[in-house]
Amino acid sequence: MSDRTDNIHDLDEVRSAFNVERIRRDFPILHQEIYGQPLVYLDNAATMQKPNAVIDAMSHFYATDYANVHRGVHALSQRADAAFQQARKKVQTFINADDWREIVFVRGATEAINLVVRSYGGHHINAGDEILITEMEHHANIVPWQMLCDEVGCVLRVCPINDAGEIDLNTFEQMLNCKTKMVAVAHVSNALGTINPVREIVELAHAHNIPVLLDGAQAVPHTSVDVQALDCDFYVFSGHKLYAPSGIGVLYGKAELLESMPPWQGGGDMIMRVTFEGTQFNRIPYKFEAGTPDIVGVIGLAAAIDYIEAIGLGPIAAHEEALLQAATDALNDIEGVRIIGTAANKSSVLSFVIDGVHPHDIGTIMDKQGIAIRAGHHCAMPVMQHFCVPATARASFAVYNTMEEVAVLASGIHNVIEVFA
């Protein structure tokens, strides 16, 4: 019955050859003017817009199948349960996890990291132990570890980046030692666009028997992820950066690790049996999902995955790569513009600064031209410190962006420079 939610949009048309104009028609929000100019949405690394396939799947689910999950014998509850479980399997296949029980639904990448810090870290990391991260991490992959360090007396070590925004694997390897108890690294940097050599990182860490958490928030929308091939121990991402709703995210953890970890929150659904003398916890993944989950968020996430898979991550990546290349060339041609983050291996993020113009002013002037970009530290203040800038402007691309929009971005930047000339 639950397939009804999956099939309300015919994805066959989406499946046909890549056509950005037809893809744009799937995103209602894109068709509006901002200050009289067509909206050019280039803030995709902050969050992505949603296709009708997602919006409609969610409202359809509310309209026809909605009930709480895991608890009812009635028909709606069974439908909701089936759809929820089907969605979990969809996520499993999407990242090629071995077992659906390795998929834990959380609020987002931030919550997933906090879960690992609290549950795994709280039990396996002690005073004097080390956690190795990189200089390019998002605050979500810094602060929870720092909090653990303050509590238990472990030490946060930071692998430096070079001026292109890359880590050096030799340096990284040298920072691993017998005290290292966790490696936590962004798969793709949100501030720089760097794609980290995560396969090699996992191999190096595993050679020292150290588990690895990969922060995939900026990776899953742009590249196909295979957690078994990566062999990472934990992988986290947020739905809202993947054309899915905000409020839903995923923690992948290897089954034996998740089994060994205590729950981090208590409540309904995460238990087998409760008495006042004690409680027997549920199996994975439910052990980590206390309380009513974001049921419709999960339905939306499944619809987003269907949508992405109908287009194909291959064509999506190729399209975005072309946009990134064109935008990089265009910005390199503008005098006074400096691109921050020039790694050889980059995903669709373009951070830049303009001589004599603060990024916040760039953001406002671009906005006036209908161009939505991000200006700020991108929750990666250490990256800003590395490059000695207070902030950067950042354009980031998604499947629905066009070459015309890249041209608008470039002319928008020319206008910024003109205002400040």
Partner 1 sequence: MDDLRDLYEEVILDHNRNPRNFNRKAENGNCEAHGFNPLCGDEFTIHMAVEEGVINDVSFTGVGCAISTASASLMTAAVKGKTVAEAEALFASVHELLTDEKGEDVTDKVGKLKVLAGVKEYPMRVKCATLAWHTMHAAMENKESTICTE
DSSP 76-118: HHHHHHHHHHHHHHHHHHHTT-S-GGGEEEESSHHHHHHHIII
Given ligand PLP, partner 1, none, residue 365, with its beta carbon under 5 to 8 Å by kind, binds: partner 1
Nearest to 51 by CA among 249, 250, 300: 300
Nearer to partner 1, 228 or 364 (CB): 364
Which among 41-49, 131-139, 264-272, 372-380 is the span making contact with partner 1, rule CB under 8 A? 372-380
Q: What is the DSSP letter of 283?
A: P
Integer angstrom CA distances of residue 38 from 34, 84, 257, 356, 397: 6, 38, 49, 28, 17
Pick from 44, 119, 190, 351 the residue near ligand PLP by CB under 6 A: 190
Angle between helices 359-368 and 403-420 (to 10 degrees): 120
Pick from 218, 347, 351, 401 the residue near ligand PLP by CB under 6 A: 218
CA 117 from centroid of its chain's CA atoms: 18
Give CA–CA dist 317/22, Å, rounded: 17
Residue 379 known to be catalytic: yes
Pick from 14, 140, 230, 391 the residue near ligand PLP by CB under 6 A: 140
Q: How many residues bind ligand PLP (CB under 6 A)?
A: 14
DSSP 222-254: TS---HHHHT-SEEEEEGGGTTS-TT-EEEEE-
Given partner 1, ligand PLP, none, residue 360, with its beta carbon under 5 to 8 Å by kind, binds: partner 1
Q: Give yes or no for residue 379 binding ligand PLP (CB under 6 A).
A: yes
Query: What percent of the residues of the chain are helix, what percent strand, and what percent coil, each to the nearest 5?
Result: 45, 20, 40
Nearer to ligand PLP, 134 or 218 (CB): 218
Give CA–CA dist 276/281, Å, rounded: 14
Given ligand PLP, partner 1, none, residue 181, with its beta carbon under 5 to 8 Å by kind, binds: none
Which among 61-69, 198-206, 244-252, 358-366 is the span making contact with partner 1, rule CB under 8 A? 358-366
CB of 385 to partner 1, least distance (A): 10
Pick from 215, 306, 320, 405 the residue near ligand PLP by CB under 6 A: 215
CB of 390 to partner 1, least distance (A): 4
Q: Give yes or no for residue 355 binding partner 1 (CB under 8 A).
A: no
Q: Give yes or no for residue 225 binding ligand PLP (CB under 6 A).
A: no
Q: Give yes or no for residue 395 binding partner 1 (CB under 8 A).
A: no
Given partner 1, ligand PLP, none, residue 109, with its beta carbon under 5 to 8 Å by kind, binds: ligand PLP
Nearest to 161 by CA among 135, 183, 193, 186: 135
Active-site pick, 149, 232, 379, 388: 379
Q: How many CB atoms lie within 10 A of CB 377?
A: 18
Q: Give yes or no for residue 394 binding partner 1 (CB under 8 A).
A: no
The three-state secondary structure class of 21 is: helix
Active site (catalytic) residues: 379
